[in-house]
C-alpha cells in the first residue's frame, strides 16, 4: 500500500548484517535508535534492505519484526536462496530469509526506483545512517523515485588516516563519499569538528551538500549489579583493539608499572572490546601476557550492563585514541562520574569540555606519570549530563521537513 503522506525510508542493511552477531557497535546503535524512533512516531515509515538477490522493502510491521530479532527473537530457517548464495554465512542466510518472508515488496537492484514509487510518495526522505548502500548506483535510483537523500557521515577517518584502516577500505570509503558528494540532499554531522573534517573531504570530491550538526544521543549506561568486579583497583579501556585506539601505548604503560611497582600494587588494566585488525604485534603482546598472568586482562563480547558496571567501578577510563569521530566511551564515563584520561583531540574538547585529563597520545612517559601518580583515595568529578536522542531527532526531522 502506498503511503498517503511523505514517509521516512530507513536503510536497515547494516542492522540486517548484525542479526545474530552479538552486541551492537556504536554505528549499529545509531541505526537501531532511529529504528526505535520511527516505530514510535506517527509518520509513515519503511525499511530498505539490500541482499544478494536485490532489495527488500519492509513496512512498519516488518521493521518491528527486525527489531524483535535484534532483541533476541530466534531467526527462522534459511530458504533455498539463502542456502545457495550464503552457504558460507549460515547466520546471514537465516537473517535474509526471515526478511524475505517479512518484506512487503522486493525487486532486483536495477528496479529500485519503481519499487519505491509504488509505496512512497515524492518528497519522502531516505535516511542512510550506517554507510551501507552509499553508491552512486543506489542513490541515483532513490533520487529518481522522488526521494530526498539524507546521510549521516560519522567520520572521515579512512580518508584522513588510511594507516588505521584495513587494506582496501580507504578506496571503498572514497567511493562512498563521492556518492554522498554527488547525491546527498543533506548530510548529518555529530559534532562541529566532524563537520569541518567531512566537509573538507566532500569539497575535494566536487560538491559539499548542505549539512546540520546534530549530536548523537547517548543513553545513560545501566550497570548490571550482578557483574563481578576485580578485588584490586583497576583501569579500563573500552573499544575494539585496533591501531587507531592506541592500545600499544597502554601496554607500554603497564610494562613500566609492572617493572617499577611491587606486584601487589600494580593496578589491573581491563580491555573491554574485541580484537580488531592490523594489530598483530599488540595481539602477540596480549597473548604473552595472558600466559604469564599479567595485570592486563581482555574481556571481549561483554553485555552492555557488564561493561557499564566495570566502567562505573574503574579508577579511570583510559582513551588514548589517535582519531575519533565522536567517541562514546568517554561520554558514558562522564555520565557515570568516572575520571577520564583521553587524547587531546578537538572532538573531545567539544563534547567533554573540561571534564577529562587531556594527554598527548604519543607521549607514553606522560601517560605513565599521570597513571602512576593517581591516588586510590582520589576524589571523583561530578557526573555530567549526556546528549539526548530527542534533541537529535528534532533537529534532523526539522531539517528533513525543510528539504
How far is Cα 393 from Cα 5, in angstroms, rounded to an integer? Answer: 19
For the chain, give every domain's residue range.
Answer: 8-218+390-401, 234-372
Q: Does the structural domain 234-372 have CATH classification 3.40.50.2000? A: yes
**Closest to 302 in 3D by CA, of 233, 252, 371, 229:** 229
Q: Do the domains 8-218+390-401 and 234-372 sit in the same CATH topology, yes or no? A: yes
More confident residue, 264 or 397: 397
- Say what the pLDDT of residue 25 is: 81
pLDDT in tens, 79-107: 766 666 666 677 778 888 899 999 999 99
The pTM for the full model equals 0.92
pLDDT tier at 377, thresholds 50, 70, 90? low
Residue 272 backbone phi and psi in degrees, to 5:
-100, 90
pLDDT in tens, 218-259: 988 899 999 999 988 999 999 999 999 999 999 999 999 999
Cell numbers for 210: 548542505
What sign has the CA pseudo-torsion 157, 158, 159, 164?
A: positive
pLDDT in tens, 129-143: 999 999 999 999 999
More confident residue, 397 or 374: 397
How far is Cα 182 from Cα 265, in angstroms, rounded to an integer? Answer: 57
Residue 378 in this model has a pLDDT that exceeds 80? no
* Residue 175: its H or E element: helix 169-183
Residue 344 in this model has a pLDDT that exceeds 80? yes
What CATH number labels 8-218+390-401? 3.40.50.2000
- Say what the pLDDT of residue 85 is: 60
Residue range 178-195: average pLDDT? 98
**Closest to 100 in 3D by CA, of 53, 32, 68:** 53
Residue 402 in this model has a pLDDT that exceeds 70? yes
pLDDT in tens, 118-177: 999 999 999 999 999 999 999 999 999 999 999 999 999 999 999 999 889 999 999 999
- Say what the pLDDT of residue 143 is: 97
Residue 2 in this model has a pLDDT that exceeds 80? no
More confident residue, 374 or 281: 281
- Say what the pLDDT of residue 75 is: 80
Long-range residue pairs from 166-175, CB within 8 A, at least 24 positions apart, any chain: 166/277, 166/278, 174/205, 175/135
- Say what the pLDDT of residue 80 is: 67
pLDDT tier at 78, thresholds 50, 70, 90? confident
Amino acid at each position: 500500500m502506498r503511503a498517503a503522506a511523505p514517509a521516512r525510508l530507513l536503510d536497515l542493511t547494516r542492522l540486517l548484517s548484525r542479526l545474530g552477531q552479538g552486541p551492537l557497535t556504536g554505528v549499529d546503535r545509531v541505526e537501531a535508535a532511529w529504528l526505535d524512533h520511527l516505530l514510535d512516531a506517527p509518520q509513515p515509515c519503511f525499511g530498505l534492505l539490500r541482499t544478494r538477490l536485490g532489495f527488500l522493502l519492509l513496512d512498519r510491521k516488518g521493521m518491528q519484526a527486525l527489531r524483535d530479532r535484534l532483541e533476541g527473537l530466534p531467526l527462522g530457517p534459511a530458504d533455498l536462496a539463502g542456502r545457495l548464495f550464503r552457504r558460507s554465512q549460515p547466520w546471514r542466510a537465516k537473517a535474509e530469509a526471515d526478511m524475505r518472508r517479512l518484506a512487503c515488496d522486493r525487486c532486483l537492484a536495477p528496479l529500485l526506483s519503481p519499487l519505491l514509487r509504488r509505496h512512497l510518495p515524492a518528497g519522502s526522505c531516505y535516511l542512510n545512517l550506517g554507510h551501507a548502500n552509499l553508491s552512486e548506483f543506489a542513490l541515483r535510483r532513490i533520487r529518481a523515485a522522488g526521494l530526498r537523500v539524507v546521510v549521516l557521515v560519522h567520520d572521515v577517518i579512512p580518508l584522513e588516516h588510511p594507516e588505521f584502516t584495513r587494506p582496501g577500505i580507504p578506496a571503498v570509503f572514497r567511493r562512498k563519499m563521492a556518492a554522498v558528494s554527488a547525491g546527498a540532499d543533506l548530510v548529518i554531522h555529530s559534532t562541529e569538528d566532524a563537520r569541518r573534517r567531512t566537509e573538507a573531504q566532500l569539497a575535494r570530491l566536487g560538491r559539499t551538500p548542505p549539512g546540520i550538526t546534530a549530536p548523537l544521543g547517548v543513553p545513560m549506561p545501566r550497570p548490571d549489579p550482578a557483574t563481578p568486579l576485580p578485588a584490586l583497583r583497576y583501569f579500563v579501556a573500552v573499544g575494539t583493539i585496533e591501531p587507531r585506539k592506541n592500545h600499544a601505548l597502554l601496554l607500554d604503560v603497564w610494562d613500566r608499572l609492572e617493572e617499577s611497582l611491587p606486584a601487589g600494587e600494580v593496578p589491573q588494566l581491563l580491555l573491554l572490546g574485541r580484537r580488531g585488525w592490523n594489530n598483530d604485534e599488540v595481539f602477540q603482546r596480549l597473548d604473552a601476557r595472558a600466559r604469564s598472568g599479567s595485570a592486563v586482562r581482555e574481556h571481549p563480547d561483554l553485555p552492555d550492563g557488564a561493561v557499564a558496571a566495570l566502567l562505573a567501578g574503574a579508577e579511570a577510563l583510559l582513551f588514548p585514541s589517535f582519531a575519533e569521530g565522536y567517541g562514546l566511551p568517554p561520554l558514558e564515563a562522564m555520565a557515570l562520574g568516572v575520571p577520564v584520561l583521553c587524547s587531546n583531540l578537538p572532538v573531545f574538547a567539544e563534547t567533554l569540555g573540561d571534564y577529562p585529563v587531556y594527554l598527548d597520545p604519543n607521549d607514553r612517559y606522560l601517560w605513565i606519570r599521570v597513571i602512576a601518580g593517581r591516588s586510590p583515595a582520589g576524589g571523583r568529578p561530578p557526573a555530567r549530563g549526556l546528549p539526548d536522542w530527542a534533541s537529535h531527532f528534532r533537529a534532523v526531522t526539522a531539517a528533513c521537513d525543510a528539504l
